[in-house]
Structure 1
Amino acid sequence: MDEYFQALANIHRRRLLVALFEDNSQRDGICVPEDVHEGRTALAALQLEFYHTHLPKLEEAGFIDWNQDTHEVVEGPRFDEIRPLLELLGDHADELPDNWP
Structure 2
Amino acid sequence: MTTDHHESDVASSLDAMFDVLSDRYRRRLLLEVYRRRRRSEGEAFGVDAFTARGELSEECRGRLRHVHLPKLAAAGFVAWDRERGTIGPGPHFREIEPAIRLLHDNRDELPDDWL
Could you state the TM-score of these two structures normalised by the residue count of structure 2? Answer: 0.77
Return the alpha-carbon distance in structure 1 between the equivalents of residues 31 and 41 of structure 2: 17
Q: In the alignment, what sits opposite 1:57?
A: 71
Overall identity of the aligned pairs, in %: 35
Amino acid in the other structure paired with 2:54: E
What SS class does the counterpart of residue 70 from structure 1 fall into?
A: coil
Tell me how many residue pairs correspond in the alignment: 99
CA RMSD in angstroms, aligned pairs only: 1.6
Per-residue deviation, 1:18: 0.1
Contact 2:43 2:89 in 1 (8 A): no
Letter of the 1:12 counterpart: Y
Aligned mates of 1:12, 1:31 — CA distance in 2: 15
Greater helix percent: which structure? 2
Gaps of 5+ in 1: none
Does 2:51 correspond to 1:4?
no
Shift of 1:88: 1.3
What 5-or-longer segments of structure 2 have no aligned partner? 1-13
**Shift in CA distance, 6/85, structure 1 to aligned 2, threshold 3 Å:** same
Q: Which letter maps to 1:38?
A: G
Amino acid at match of 2:22: A
Q: Which has the larger radius of gyration?
A: 2
Report the counterpart of residue 21 of structure 1 in structure 2: 34
Q: Give the TM-score of the pair, scaled to structure 1.
A: 0.86
Within the alignment, does 1:96 sit opposite 2:110 as a pair?
yes
2:54 alignment counterpart? 38
Deviation at 1:73, TM superposition (A): 0.6
Q: Distance in 1 between matches of 2:20 and 2:74?
A: 11
- Distance in 1 between the 2:112 and 2:41 partners? 29
Q: How far does residue 34 in structure 1 lie from its aligned partner after superposition?
A: 3.2
Distance apart, 1:79 and its partner CA: 0.2
Contact 1:33 1:46 in 2 (8 A): no
